[in-house]
Amino acid sequence: MLFCSRGPVIPTTLIFGASRGLGRAFTDHALQLGHRVVALVRHADMASELHTLGVEVVIGDALDPLAVAQACRLADRDARVVSTLGSFRQSAPVDYQGNRHVIDEMEHAGLSRLLLVTSLGCGDSWQYLPERARAAFGHEVRLKSLAESWLQTSTLEWTILRPAGLQDGEPTGQAILSQGQERHGLVRRQDVAIRGLQLLTDQEACGQIYAIGDPGLNQP
């Protein structure tokens, strides 16, 4: 009789906001780690590009709960989820409403683990946000704060990550996580993705809020 042993289980990471910026950094790093990656993407050309890289793509908008639900079903219940959704200088309130759909549809589909990436200045860190920053993107920060509150009162196993000012470039490996401290400055998107995916698998990070910044990077 022939017995077939099962190989190692490949983790699934479902990413909302995967096509550009910080979400793309999470997508690239998850692929480098050998994860099965599922993504909800609005535009067909970007969906084609991600599909070429090996991503399983659902074409749709996070403001459409049916599209979010489809992505959750495709990923399946054991998937870990990352949301980097944001709407800087866009009229659609995806910072709150899109993330709310992600949280709600995860609950409905039986997924449990979510890393919500927001921003410095959200929630209780609003007090540390300079007036100039409040004037520039305070509206988006307040919407992200609403998403944080919706998540914290959900049934999900959540972690919230609030990056400093985001910068492109190679990871420095020097990004620092902190809690309950004033933090400013910059951080590389790649470093946020690396540390974020580590938090996603850390049971002690559940129910925790972290800021992340790189003290070695200076504001221009």
Model confidence over 26-73: pLDDT tens digits?
Answer: 999 999 999 999 999 999 999 999 999 999 999 999 999 999 999 999
- Average the pLDDT over 192-217 and give the result: 95
pLDDT above 70 for 4 = no
pLDDT class of 2 with cuts at 50, 70, 90: very low
Q: How far is CA 73 from CA 38, 54, 111, 145, 157, in A?
A: 10, 18, 9, 27, 18
- Average the pLDDT over 181-190 and give the result: 85
Please tell me the predicted confidence (pLDDT) of residue 86. Answer: 84
DSSP-derived 3-state class of residue 135: helix
- 12-213: CATH topology: Rossmann fold (3.40.50)
Q: How far is CA 184 from CA 71, 131, 148, 166, 172, in A?
A: 34, 13, 20, 11, 17
Percent of the chain exceeding pLDDT 90 equals 68
Sign of CA dihedral 184, 185, 191, 193: positive
Please tell me the predicted confidence (pLDDT) of residue 185. Answer: 85
Q: What distance in Å separates the CA atoms of residue 111 and residue 76, rounded to the nearest whole number?
A: 7
Which stretch of 4-13, 16-25, 196-205 has the lowest confidence by average pLDDT? 4-13
Q: Mapped to the 3 state alphabet, what secondary structure does 172-195 carry? A: CCCCEEECCCCCCCEEEHHHHHHH
pLDDT above 80 for 6 = no
pLDDT digits (tens, 9 = 90+) for 86-124: 875 556 678 889 999 999 999 999 999 999 999 876 666
Q: What distance in Å separates the CA atoms of residue 115 and residue 111, rounded to the nearest whole number?
A: 12
Please tell me the predicted confidence (pLDDT) of residue 1. Answer: 47
| Per-chain mean pLDDT for the chain | 88
Q: E strand or H helix at 117, and its extent?
A: strand 113-117
pLDDT class of 137 with cuts at 50, 70, 90: low
Residue ranges per domain, the chain? 12-213
